[in-house]
Amino acid sequence: MKGRSRSSLIPRRRSKKAAKSGGADWNVDEIVAELRRLGTSRNVEGMARFGIRAEKVFGVAKPKLDELARRMGKNHSLGMELWATGIQDAKILAGMISESELVTAEQMDLWVEDFDNWDSCDGTCCHLFVFAGPAWKKAIAWTRRTEEFQKRAGFALAAYLAYRDKSAADSQFADFLKIVEREADDGRNFVRKAVNWALRNIGKRNLRLNRAAIVTGERLKKRESRAARWIAADALRELRSEEVQARLRRKDGK
């Protein structure tokens, strides 16, 4: 992929749902100026306390990003341009306005390399990647990455797929539980939390997967690594809770 710029991936056609406000098209400079206006140093400091650190960040509150995204509408080309700015707030907004049907595997591999905190990782997976065609392929592939937030992306994407992909077969999630076991010894904070997240979400999909996830957790409990034992204890606590069990029984009609 070397030598291929991010701008070269911007689709040439304009979205039918092109971003409009007051009758005029948005452009990337206008949006960056608006983000700068909306951001606060207090929010930047607050984000840092929660582990969201980026080289370029304005500190725009999420509700304000939501409102701005609604005003802009969907526009994949503009989303690509926003991502290329490298600004944290612009990257989150890019995931919100981009069009999942236009997302390619190549774009996903380029963007995942820019994940430098859990917010850009999780936000992009939540708003965009989970709905993209290559989502399953990338979720599996990224779990073998070595960079912390790139590897986290694989498990975060699986967690969102467990919640969002209504058509996926149980066997796909059962196979992913094997990946959970394979990577559960990674003690890096943002990796182990994402592994745990994927395990819990898979186990909350239905009763069959709940049983499979509990079996996986029981095996992890016996590991020597602290990471695996923490993942297991936290997940089993939720997966066995009466609240989860009752909801799954209602869902499965039992």
Q: Look at residue 24 and give its three-state secondary structure.
A: strand
What gap in Å lies between CA 18 and CA 27, rounded to an integer?
A: 11
What integer pLDDT is reported at residue 1 of this predicted model? Answer: 35
Average pLDDT over residues 43-61: 93
Residue among 179, 217, 188, 184 nearest 200 (CA): 217
Residue 189 is which amino acid?
Answer: N
What gap in Å lies between CA 43 and CA 187, rounded to an integer?
A: 29
Backbone angles phi, psi at 92, to 5 degrees: -65, -45
What integer pLDDT is reported at residue 252 of this predicted model? Answer: 82
What gap in Å lies between CA 177 and CA 195, rounded to an integer?
A: 10
CB atoms within 10 A of CB 9: 16
CB atoms within 10 A of CB 51: 11
Is 70 a residue whose pLDDT tops 60?
yes
Instruction: Give the model confidence (pLDDT) of 104-124 as tens digits.
Output: 999 999 999 999 999 999 999
Tokens found for residue 43: 């929010």
What integer pLDDT is reported at residue 119 of this predicted model? Answer: 96
What gap in Å lies between CA 59 and CA 42, rounded to an integer?
A: 8
Is 20 a residue whose pLDDT tops 80?
no
Which of residues 18 and 38 earns the better pLDDT score? 38
What gap in Å lies between CA 158 and CA 212, rounded to an integer?
A: 16
Structural domains of the chain sorted by starting position, each given as residue range(s) with its CATH number in brackets: 13-102 (no CATH), 104-254 (1.25.40)
What gap in Å lies between CA 135 and CA 122, rounded to an integer?
A: 13
pLDDT-derived band at 209 (thresholds 50, 70, 90) equals very high
What gap in Å lies between CA 130 and CA 102, rounded to an integer?
A: 13
Lowest mean pLDDT among 9-23, 52-66, 149-163, 180-194: 9-23
Is 97 a residue whose pLDDT tops 50?
yes
Is 206 a residue whose pLDDT tops 80?
yes
What integer pLDDT is reported at residue 9 of this predicted model? Answer: 40
What integer pLDDT is reported at residue 253 of this predicted model? Answer: 83
pLDDT-derived band at 81 (thresholds 50, 70, 90) equals very high
What integer pLDDT is reported at residue 101 of this predicted model? Answer: 97
Is 169 a residue whose pLDDT tops 70?
yes
Is 21 a residue whose pLDDT tops 90?
no
What gap in Å lies between CA 124 and CA 118, rounded to an integer?
A: 10
Average pLDDT over the chain reads 91
Q: pTM for this structure? A: 0.89
What integer pLDDT is reported at residue 2 of this predicted model? Answer: 37
129 touches 135 (CB < 8 A): yes
pLDDT-derived band at 25 (thresholds 50, 70, 90) equals confident
Residue with tokens 């467990």: 162
What gap in Å lies between CA 77 and CA 128, rounded to an integer?
A: 14
pLDDT above 90 as % of the chain: 87
